[in-house]
Structure 1
Amino acid sequence: MQLAARLRDSLGRDVPVRWVFEHPTVAALAAHLDTTTGQPAHLDAGPRAGTARAPYRPSFAQRRLWLAQQLAPSRTDYHVPLLARLHGPLDAAALRGALTALVARHDVLRTRFTLTGDGLSQVVDQPAPLAVSEDAMPDHGAESDLPARLGRPFDLGDEWPIRAHLRREGPDRHLLLLLLHHVASDGWSGGVLLRDLAELYRAARDGTPATLPQVPLRFVDYAAWETDPERTAGWEGQLGHWRDHFTDIPTVGLTRPPAVPPPADRPGSSVPIPIDDRLRASIADLASQASVTVFSVLHAALAVLIARESGTAQVRVGTDVARRDRPELLDLVGPLVNQAVLATDLRPGTTPRAAVRAAADARSIALAHAEVPYEQVARSAGRQGEPLFTTKIVYEDSILPRQLGDLTVEFVTVPQQRAKFDTTLFFWADDDTLTGVLQFAHDVLDEAGAVRVRDAYLETLRRFVTSPDGSIDGWEGNDTPMQQPSPQPTGPVGLRAVRPRPVALTDATPPPETAPPVPVTADGVLPRLVTAPPDRPGLAAFAARHRGRIDEWLPVAGAVLFRGFAVDSAETFEAAAAQLCTDLFTENGEHVPVLDSGHVQTPVFFPPERKLLWHNENSFNARWPHRLVFCCLRPADSGGATPLVDGRKLYARLDPALRRRFSERQVRYERCYQRGVGLTWQQVFGTDDRAEVERVCAAQDMRYEWLPGDRLRTTCVRPAVVAHPVTGEPCWFTQAQHWHPYCLDEATRAGLRAMYGDDALPRDCRYGDGSPIPDEDMAEVLAAYADLEVTFAWQPGDVLLVDNVATAHARNPFHGERTLLVALGDPGSFADVRLSRETGGLPEEAS
């Protein structure tokens, strides 16, 4: 964009941005300019300063964004957060002055919107100080309002589309949040604003004038030019192109569409797309060889992936096109962006190199017809009620400053927890890095599904750069289809979620002739299903009669599901649990008892819209249950399954070097009890007597530290691999994925770190020697869990007996009321299961 704008200014002739993409080298562009020198310039006069007259018309993008906010006032998916940590001695007064100067410089930041009889108009307020809220990093358990600041909707009629908050984290460390509404900003604008803020801060601190380029026009001038009826009257040719392009072509993307129309404020998450230096360089080389841009390679790989998954050769994806092909628009802040459709036709026999060329052609065509607002394109194509694309790809060159005066700027990623499309791939590039994120809506993908999509895309990219001239027809498909509809409900996923793998529970095999008539599934099925005999005895009586066989089944299968027995209350469940376990105990302070005995409890509360990750119950404690018993009195309306993972298979799946690290170093669990997040130490320990807490900690081999503000930090080191007490097999037995920050969704992780810092997170874990557990290690563990997970649908009266050493369990998100009970049985300790060479048959790394 900058190149096209500068050439337009220096040559005094029209230089469309698409020419830059069609001729990506200096020599090729120069040659093309030479061949067109004799053609008419067609230099559009463009927007001019001072031409707008009140009442000011909004731009097309502003009108669309304003309308979207009115239809769903609580939506926050159009928030644009800029979160930066400032390192160094901050002059807060100078920063406040710089922010005030910033909104004075850019009128769009002082704009409100009003609807009158003449329609929607912009109201530009006079410059005034920008309110900057401030607080200090809480030194006790006070609830931070940072998530609320990110999530509070804008009232575009009464407030400016910018908010600022400054948090003091330490003498030389501050967190600055600038929250903008998309009605006043786009991706490019963020870099302009931060560049200007850096210079304005330096000037305010030093008491000298700021040296910034003059903003040649106001945003209202741009909006008046863009919406001028004389300009829009010439759009029929572009509209005709889009009509011809999209008639009778179905919309396909990376995922199947949701079963019901998505809400306006659509829950979503994101997963990173890691591109290492080697892959980045290979992508750049392929782009150079094909005389296209890096974006075209990224787009081509996406189009090929969609074509292979959907079975269609005609692929459409969306992208953003910035209207900054003129010098006067480069420093203008505002939503100068339109959505365009990239259409590629990938016929049989297409090679990656040909697909890259087709992607470049698609972008060139889109740029040539990108003036018409997307909404009008959809309406003209007869697709106003149906999106022209469900998958989008966005590429931006990073222009974020790294200094704010003498302050070092560290940008903090704040992923949106909303999604505008089914899937969007975002890429940011600077001189030596290429980073990406896959954003997805929860009603089409869960996180494991998103990871599979991400991994399939990365594999496609690798095939592009390693075999650019081989036909894509011969590529093998993915082992797991990406387009299967998610069986889970929509809703925010606060922890890394996965798509469950359903397991058949109906392939029963006849029992041995000498055994009672008990219908069960075959060995090796997790869970093993036991259905009630025809006489339908109570489960307590059945378990008492067949306890020996149940004890044989459990360590082999890892879990046994009893179905069809008359278990319909906490009392009948307690009686059954007492027969399925030798001893029931009540030592878990995080479960809430429902009977006076304390043996029957409700599981730990966790938001229903989130997935509770896999874990072995209480494996971070010195004592834990050998057996868990779950009872379903009422299944959820949708979702709410209890996924299971065989810890022996998980151990075998992991890389031996990773197993060795966890086996030798173990896991150190660090917990900071503080009011406002999670349970307090009083709730967990069941007392407000510090001496009693200290006694329990000593008995549990747990270190403790009392902190200011009635806070408590506990630390303990526990094994991650244990020997099964019956079979002797090594089992993965840990809750690291519940405690490690990597396993949180990115928004929660960033919010907790912003609120509490890295040294006071509510939960954290390291290797037992104090060294960090790298994110890559946790990523491998999570991937193994996701791959091995099986699940079944709860039915009323189901009782699930789980071998807590052999099998990890989780909980999927759900909608509606769900009543599940749990009992903990047969308490044990690590002395029962600790690996040693004397037990025999143990892996080398478990010494």
Structure 2
Amino acid sequence: MPRRPVLGELLGIPAPAPDSEFFDLGGNSLIALQVINRVEERFGIRHRLLDLYEYPAIEDFARFVHSSAGLPTAAPASPEPRSTGPSARPELVPGDELVMSFGQQRMWFHHQIDPATTLYNQPTVSRLDGHLDVEAVRGMWHDLAMRHETLRSNFVAVDGAPALHIRPDPGDFFTFADVSDAPDPHAAARELVAQAARRRFDVANDPLLRVLLIRIAPERHVLQFTTHHAVNDGGAPRILSRELPELYAARREGRAPRLPELPIQYRDYAIWQRRLLAGSALDHELAYWRKTLRDAPRLDLPTDHPRPTRKTYTGHMLPFTVEEPVVERLRKLAADESVTLFVVLLSAFNLLLSRLSGQRDLIVGTPTSGRNHPLLQDLLGYFNSTVALRCAVPPQTALGDFLRQTRATVLEAMDHQEIPFDRVVSAVGARREAGRDPLIDVSFVHQELPRYELADSRYSAFFDEERSTINRFEGMPVGTAKLDLTLITTVREYRADVTAGLEYSTELFTADTAAGFISAYQELLRALAYEHDAGRPIAALLDTPAPGTEGRR
């Protein structure tokens, strides 16, 4: 029964009370998905994510699950999982076959077209204060790569087709630089970090994990690691925050790490993904997307420059902060309307896009975790997919209803996230246009990031955030933009504000225009936080154009 043992384990709470509510205990959509997966494992029934929102109290959800399974609500026994019939999923098991995932193949093809691309560079940089054992740091990353074999991947051409090669060791991946005696150690470190973030990957020959450790003072260091997106994704911070401290401590103490053995590796997932897609288990997902995205509109935003016929993916990031008092009020609004902060921030973005374009039917992309199977939860690799959220913005809808409508859109999409986005594009017959991606022109990325802690060394502030604003964003390549606009919002467990940024295509927009978009978004967030009653229609929030957009096309 999905009572306290499972929920307590996922939430990190030993014994949550039966009448406590999932979201009050720190639950979010990612953990909710894990709950749904565990329930399916045990009972053979796939529930909707929305069910957990409709029955947020632990005891109520447990009763609902038992009722839907046709079991007594107080039944203590664990029923045998039931087969879901001819569309049952293949088993995810370890194997020896070297197979690339569909996402890795797509990135490999892009590299063949544009070998110099840095679009898939994922740099992360932070400052560490306190004593740091350099050799233990190197060993920590080495052991991580030996544990997660995908970090030792290369993608090579065999008879013109992509093939996976696994290195026996991480290779020459680690660089240590001591600039503490430089005239300006901070400036010297800034330059090294910028060079490392922009250095392209040769996916056939280079280590796809690079680590740079810089000493700027005896007890102050800058740690930067850059991965290729083909071996890493947005789910990594949660895994790294658990494993890196233990791997570091083990190196310091000369012992084996106390981490559970990984039952599978990423290539096992790649094989499983192919088997899953070869069967009929995801046919219902394709049917959902065909229906949802039928006659989907393209977003028609006002631009400063004509859309080019060929994208170069050049872009820039403008950072901003949603201050703590505003975030506190937005969290209250979310709780009052039984939605998450993610939904509130996305809804405000939808209002902005609708205001800018005049459209009331929008497509906004958002990444998914892709870790639907329990065996994938602790595995590094590229699991992310994209879902196209078709968001309605009807002006006469009350704010509270609009938020819940957005919540339903998100949860339905997450319930149908396993089918790769490329398959969705083909299935819906999306018209391809020169200079733009199919279906999606803008995206919303929301991250919840843990703190990194190593023994005797404390994670401190962002490094050089005033001069190198891109350092605020984990895993964002420098000087690029995959889409027209991408709004990134980041909640960090050690900060009460929200770190945010707008990545924009410099082929379409000027910096002043992007700054105007941010100003308008901040204005909308303040209106939601302080002014707009949940029972009032959202029409008033759509009336005012964003600063600087009047008359542009």
Q: Same fold (TM over 0.5)?
A: yes
Aligned to 2:286: 239
Aligned to 2:409: 362
Counterparts of residues 320-719 of structure 1 (less than 5 Å): 320-383=367-430, 385-386=432-433, 387-401=438-452, 403-410=453-460, 411-412=462-463, 414=471, 416-431=478-493, 432-465=496-529, 466-467=531-532, 468-475=534-541, 476-478=543-545, 480=547, 482=549
Counterparts of residues 238-257 of structure 1 (less than 5 Å): 238-252=285-299, 255-256=302-303
Amino acid across the alignment from 2:528: F
The alignment's TM-score, normalised by the length of structure 1, stands at 0.53
**Residues 424, 230 of structure 1: alpha-carbon distance in 2 compared, 3 angstrom cutoff:** closer
Aligned to 2:57: 26
For residues 85 and 181 of structure 1, the distance between their equivalents in structure 2, rounded to whole angstroms, comes to 22
- Find 1:88's aligned residue among 115, 119, 130: 130
Aligned to 1:784: none
Residue 134 in structure 1 maps to residue 185 in structure 2: no
**Matched-pair contact (CA < 8 Å) for 1:254–1:309:** yes
Counterparts of residues 153-232 of structure 1 (less than 5 Å): 153-228=200-275, 231-232=278-279
Q: Secondary structure at the match of 1:114?
A: strand
For residues 47 and 124 of structure 1, the distance between their equivalents in structure 2, rounded to whole angstroms, comes to 23
For residues 340 and 346 of structure 1, the distance between their equivalents in structure 2, rounded to whole angstroms, comes to 18
Q: Alpha-carbon deviation of 1:25?
A: 2.5
**Residues 326, 380 of structure 1: alpha-carbon distance in 2 compared, 3 angstrom cutoff:** closer
Q: Secondary structure at the match of 2:235?
A: helix
**Matched-pair contact (CA < 8 Å) for 1:253–1:306:** no
- Find 1:5's aligned residue among 31, 34, 37: 34
For residues 227 and 550 of structure 2, the distance between their equivalents in structure 1, rounded to whole angstroms, comes to 35
Amino acid across the alignment from 1:424: T
Residue 309 in structure 1 maps to residue 356 in structure 2: yes
Aligned to 1:77: 119
**Matched-pair contact (CA < 8 Å) for 1:107–1:218:** yes
Amino acid across the alignment from 2:421: Y
Q: Alpha-carbon deviation of 1:118?
A: 8.7
**Residues 232, 446 of structure 1: alpha-carbon distance in 2 compared, 3 angstrom cutoff:** farther
For residues 21 and 337 of structure 1, the distance between their equivalents in structure 2, rounded to whole angstroms, comes to 23
Amino acid across the alignment from 2:290: R
Q: Alpha-carbon deviation of 1:320?
A: 0.6
Residue 110 in structure 1 maps to residue 152 in structure 2: yes
**Matched-pair contact (CA < 8 Å) for 1:287–1:297:** yes
For residues 333 and 360 of structure 1, the distance between their equivalents in structure 2, rounded to whole angstroms, comes to 28
**Matched-pair contact (CA < 8 Å) for 1:418–1:441:** yes
For residues 178 and 348 of structure 2, the distance between their equivalents in structure 1, rounded to whole angstroms, comes to 46
Identify the structure with the greater strand proportion. Answer: 1
Q: Secondary structure at the match of 1:383?
A: coil
**Residues 41, 262 of structure 1: alpha-carbon distance in 2 compared, 3 angstrom cutoff:** farther
For residues 16 and 76 of structure 1, the distance between their equivalents in structure 2, rounded to whole angstroms, comes to 40
* Gap regions ≥5 residues in structure 2: 1-29, 72-80, 464-469
**Matched-pair contact (CA < 8 Å) for 1:48–1:221:** yes
Amino acid across the alignment from 1:482: T
**Residues 16, 281 of structure 1: alpha-carbon distance in 2 compared, 3 angstrom cutoff:** farther
Amino acid across the alignment from 2:423: Q
**Residues 241, 304 of structure 1: alpha-carbon distance in 2 compared, 3 angstrom cutoff:** same
For residues 8 and 427 of structure 1, the distance between their equivalents in structure 2, rounded to whole angstroms, comes to 26
**Matched-pair contact (CA < 8 Å) for 1:351–1:469:** yes
**Residues 254, 394 of structure 1: alpha-carbon distance in 2 compared, 3 angstrom cutoff:** farther
**Residues 45, 376 of structure 1: alpha-carbon distance in 2 compared, 3 angstrom cutoff:** closer
Backbone CA RMSD of aligned residues: 2.8
Deviations 1:707-757 (A, max 9, x none): xxxxxxxxxxxxxxxxxxxxxxxxxxxxxxxxxxxxxxxxxxxxxxxxxxx
**Residues 8, 147 of structure 1: alpha-carbon distance in 2 compared, 3 angstrom cutoff:** closer
**Residues 20, 407 of structure 1: alpha-carbon distance in 2 compared, 3 angstrom cutoff:** farther
**Matched-pair contact (CA < 8 Å) for 2:128–2:221:** yes
For residues 309 and 167 of structure 2, the distance between their equivalents in structure 1, rounded to whole angstroms, comes to 36
**Matched-pair contact (CA < 8 Å) for 2:32–2:52:** no
Amino acid across the alignment from 2:508: V
Q: Alpha-carbon deviation of 1:269?
A: 1.7
Amino acid across the alignment from 1:362: T
Q: Alpha-carbon deviation of 1:129?
A: 5.4
Q: Secondary structure at the match of 1:82?
A: strand
The aligned length equals: 483
For residues 41 and 395 of structure 1, the distance between their equivalents in structure 2, rounded to whole angstroms, comes to 35
**Matched-pair contact (CA < 8 Å) for 1:136–1:169:** yes
Q: Alpha-carbon deviation of 1:406?
A: 1.4
**Matched-pair contact (CA < 8 Å) for 2:369–2:385:** yes
Q: Secondary structure at the match of 1:385?
A: coil
For residues 360 and 255 of structure 2, the distance between their equivalents in structure 1, rounded to whole angstroms, comes to 60
**Matched-pair contact (CA < 8 Å) for 1:444–1:485:** no
**Matched-pair contact (CA < 8 Å) for 1:346–1:355:** yes
**Matched-pair contact (CA < 8 Å) for 2:305–2:509:** no
Amino acid across the alignment from 2:92: R
Deviates more, 1:73-82 or 1:231-240: 231-240
Aligned to 1:807: none
For residues 42 and 435 of structure 1, the distance between their equivalents in structure 2, rounded to whole angstroms, comes to 44
For residues 371 and 310 of structure 2, the distance between their equivalents in structure 1, rounded to whole angstroms, comes to 32
* Gap regions ≥5 residues in structure 1: 487-847
Q: Alpha-carbon deviation of 1:243?
A: 2.8
**Matched-pair contact (CA < 8 Å) for 1:275–1:436:** yes
Amino acid across the alignment from 1:104: M
Q: Secondary structure at the match of 1:180?
A: strand
For residues 46 and 407 of structure 1, the distance between their equivalents in structure 2, rounded to whole angstroms, comes to 44
Q: Alpha-carbon deviation of 1:230?
A: 5.6
Aligned to 2:69: 37
Counterparts of residues 764-775 of structure 1 (less than 5 Å): none
Deviations 1:354-404 (A, max 9, x none): 211111111122122222111121122222524212111111221232x11
Q: Secondary structure at the match of 1:66?
A: helix
Q: Secondary structure at the match of 1:270?
A: strand
Identify the structure with the greater helix proportion. Answer: 2
Q: Alpha-carbon deviation of 1:219?
A: 0.4
- Find 1:99's aligned residue among 113, 137, 141: 141
**Residues 23, 325 of structure 1: alpha-carbon distance in 2 compared, 3 angstrom cutoff:** farther
Q: Secondary structure at the match of 1:325?
A: coil
Q: Which has the higher contact order (CA 8 A, sep 6+)?
A: 2
Deviations 1:278-305 (A, max 9, x none): 2212222222222122211111111122
Which is higher, the Rg of structure 1 or of structure 2? 1
Q: Alpha-carbon deviation of 1:221?
A: 0.6
For residues 57 and 312 of structure 2, the distance between their equivalents in structure 1, rounded to whole angstroms, comes to 44
Amino acid across the alignment from 1:37: A
For residues 51 and 137 of structure 2, the distance between their equivalents in structure 1, rounded to whole angstroms, comes to 39
For residues 312 and 249 of structure 2, the distance between their equivalents in structure 1, rounded to whole angstroms, comes to 39
For residues 391 and 21 of structure 1, the distance between their equivalents in structure 2, rounded to whole angstroms, comes to 29
**Residues 77, 84 of structure 1: alpha-carbon distance in 2 compared, 3 angstrom cutoff:** same
**Matched-pair contact (CA < 8 Å) for 2:313–2:482:** yes
Q: Alpha-carbon deviation of 1:324?
A: 2.0
Aligned to 2:12: none
**Matched-pair contact (CA < 8 Å) for 2:90–2:275:** no
**Residues 483, 75 of structure 1: alpha-carbon distance in 2 compared, 3 angstrom cutoff:** farther
Residue 63 in structure 1 maps to residue 105 in structure 2: yes
- Find 1:261's aligned residue among 280, 283, 308: 308
